[in-house]
Amino acid sequence: MTTKPKLGSYNYKFGAIAAAIGIVFSLMLHFMDMTYEQSPVIQFISYLIPVVLVIMAILSFKKNNGGLLSIGQSLKIGVGVFFVSGIIGFLHLLIYSNTLEPDFTANFAQIQADAIREAKPELDENIIQIQQESIQKYFYIGYFIFFLIPSLIVGLLVGLFTGLFAKKS
């Protein structure tokens, strides 16, 4: 009698690997003084890391499950890997922004304010100032709303498409 592999172990293992690679990438950017770069390439790489790990997790699960894979299983792995990676990434952000870069939230808010000034020069400076203060005050909550939730949606989509592809092969 064979035992079925547990989805959770794949989520934890591959999510932790994705987070570790992401942390190394983040530290690399820090030491290259590129922490605040908004480059599309950097953002693409940041999403590519967990995407590749989700695909690897799904294919590994399928292999260890005797070639069987359901769409539901691939969706759970996709969301699970992104969730684990996102939570570990958040913990890294907390440590990073309170040790290596204590002015991180203030600098981030300033960059956002400068972007607003550039995009909408007619906007009242008081509104921009309020926005900047709000970003600083609610930065960590914003992480969940603007990073973790969209990441889970990406994980859902990657899990769906990988599951559809892997199920047929």
Residue boundaries of the structural domains of the chain? 7-168
Q: Round the average pLDDT of the chain to a whole number and report it.
A: 93
Give the chain as a DSSP string: -PPPPPHHHHHHHHHHHHHHHHHHHHHHHHHTT-TT---HHHHHHHHHHHHHHHHHHHHHHHHHTTT---HHHHHHHHHHHHHHHHHHHHHHHHHHHHTT-TTHHHHHHHHHHHHHHHH-TTS-HHHHHHHHHHHHHTHHHHHIIIIIHHHHHHHHHHHHHHHHHHHH-
- The model's pTM: 0.90
pLDDT tens for 15-64 read 999 999 999 999 999 999 999 988 999 999 999 999 999 999 999 999 99
Share of the chain above pLDDT 90, in %: 82
